[in-house]
Structure 1
Amino acid sequence: MKVRSSLRSLKDKPGSVVVRRHGRVVVVNRTNPRFKGRQG
């Protein structure tokens, strides 16, 4: 999983969801699981 300074590029991909887990902002994508990232 990539640590990104900004998750905007991942958030704009189709099927991606922004989730908060343990105080981190995580982007997960069910349609294309390659696009995962976390911030913080």
Structure 2
Amino acid sequence: MRSDFPNLAAKKVTPYAIYDLKNNEFFVNIGTSCDTSDESM
């Protein structure tokens, strides 16, 4: 994979999403830590 920003190409992200059915709202947090949600609390 070629990137114009090679230092950013090696990063990993962890998406974490919450969907509220009652209010029809969606929240997504993109973290760069390898901690899971249980570990980060």
Does the TM-score normalized on the shorter chain lie above 0.5?
A: no
Q: What TM-score, normalized to structure 2?
A: 0.33
- The TM-score normalised by the length of structure 1 is 0.33
Is the radius of gyration larger for structure 1 or structure 2?
Answer: 2
